[in-house]
Structure 1
């Protein structure tokens, strides 16, 4: 439940109107949700998120394995590289490909999850559920609306995934080579140490890519009739902004709210994302070991 609540708070902080701010921090957000919507409000968007995360994870892992084999095959076509193995750089490329494919395949679900999460009882348009939200957006705003904000998401996936893998692998290599504080046993790092490496990777990756996530969320709200009470107003007006594209969204966000607006909700997002990334990395490697699969992230 904590993961869901933090997602809820992060989303609201990213898109809320600066002239009608409901809260500025995580604790204020928790109090506001409990006071205005009660226990039920803590689970808003949970069904959509569950429906999205299962196919997203499946597509991501499948795409990663296929991209790894494909990139390695292409790399081995070069003269003198016939016996080459996957390098960290090649794995970064495979991870980026997997992230883009998985995000694109489930993006409409992510888009409606955002709207379901931030809609209130005062919103003119009330989405009754996942299917109703998808069909309503499709009919009223067109099929392109389901992929509004897709470009900043694609651009954000590359540094996000790239830095996650690069930092994780670099930290592990450094620890294995230097063995500070006796962390290495039998030429292996403990689960706790690998979790710490994953947490560091997640912190750096999501901090660098976070502004693109804010822009993505704001672009997803454009065209929604119920967004006027939620998203950023232009100048001193409380009317929602209309963004013509990613660059325009960046420009207007910084102009009317300052550069710091690009990092709204970073703290609750970090509390949510950093441990999940760390656990994902370690779980992936441990499961591969248990199943006896030869290929691992660290190979």
Structure 2
């Protein structure tokens, strides 16, 4: 009889436990708390969406990306590329179709993880900043302001750029190689190994400081302008652009284009300096982009400030914006495509959280 009481008691406790567990699961579901497995899957989907967005957007504008870097680092005493149209024609004539996409494989190998980390980091940073903002303001319904979005975007840009910087560094060197230059690097991994072996680990992070400084306004403004512009359009609905609280793909592309234009214009001089610093220490850089100008000191920089000073002194202030035109033509569709692709892929994969959430 006693054993029956124990069994009955145990069975009753087990039933109660199951009921409590079911109640807890229901509560968590109502509050939007996801199980660990679901959260990990959601993170993976978010990273995939960011990677796809980066690969698609960068491949679409690869020829302009290569021309921009060639314009940034070419010696003013040995001009080969005089503008966007002429530069693209020259590459096509001298290197063929493949020349337009030289370095794109390495670029995608860098941009896919970079974009994945950047978008995911922005989501996490914006969520954390919003949580702190609501606690400090005491307003549980508060939303991110443009300044807070700028901060979240800056955090995301710094994390993503630092994580993938060595690949960006060697991608710049591979990109400036031409048919007439000695092929020192056969690919990304060969370039990484060669730079590390011949120039040391620190060489893989040449130009990192101007990159960090430049990524704050660039990525920060991209996210801040894109999200703020979307919010404004949804709330004000000018010209009837909003349907069912959603913007069309074309409207979102336009928002991304505006964000990309503002961000890249502010940060562009730092991008020029970064590229030039990345060429320092490369023995074949003179024959690739500097012609006979190495003796003129065009590639000898001791640091970011020295690079700014020598560039402006020898070539004028306008040199800080070399390649801006092809970069503008590139950035506008690239940023727009990246944002929209990211959101579309997340919709396809069924990820509930959007960057605007």
Query: What TM-score does the superposition give when structure 2 sets the normalisation length?
Result: 0.75
Decide whether the 8 Å contact of 2:77 with 2:293 is kept in 1. Answer: no
Higher normalized helix content (fraction of residues): 2
| In 2: Cα distance, 1:34 partner to 1:127 partner | 21
Counterpart CA distance in 2 for 1:21 and 1:281 is 36
Q: Which residue number in structure 2 is paired with residue 143 of structure 1?
A: 201
* SS at 2:302 equivalent: coil
Q: How many residues align?
A: 299
> Who is 2:130 aligned against?
72
Of structures 1 and 2, the larger Rg is shown by 2
Q: 1:18 offset after TM fit, Å? A: 0.4
Gap change, CA 1:128 and 1:283, over 3 Å in 2: closer
> Which deviates further from its counterpart, 284-293 or 213-222?
284-293
- Superposition pairs of residues 38-187 of structure 1, within 5 angstroms: 38-78=96-136, 80=138, 84-123=142-181, 126-187=184-245
For 1:215 and 1:240, the matched residues in 2 are separated by: 12
What 5-or-longer segments of structure 2 have no aligned partner?
Answer: 1-58
Alpha-carbon distance in structure 1 between the residues aligned to 2:311 and 2:80: 18
2:300 to 242, 248, 269: 242
Cα separation, 2, equivalents of 1:241 and 1:49: 23
Instruction: Say which is worse superposed, 227-236 or 30-39, in terms of deviation.
Output: 227-236
Deviations 1:162-183 (A, max 9, x none): 2223322343344344443332
CA deviations on 1:81-108 (whole Å, 9 max, x unpaired) are 5665544433322221111111111111
**1:195 alignment partner in structure 2:** 253
- Supply the RMSD in Å over aligned alpha carbons: 2.7
What displacement does 1:29 show? Answer: 1.2
Aligned-pair CA distance for 1:25: 0.8
14 and 79 in structure 1: CA distance in 2 versus 1, 3 angstrom threshold: closer
- Alpha carbons 1:17, 1:229 under 8 Å: kept: no
Contact 2:146 2:228 in 1 (8 A): no
- When normalised by structure 1's length, the TM-score is 0.88
Residue 212 of structure 1 deviates from its aligned partner by 0.8
Q: Which moved more, 1:111-120 or 1:125-134?
A: 125-134
Deviation at 1:53, TM superposition (A): 1.8
Q: Name the CA distance, whole Å, in 2 between partners of 1:132 and 1:236.
A: 25
Per-residue deviation at 1:269?
1.3
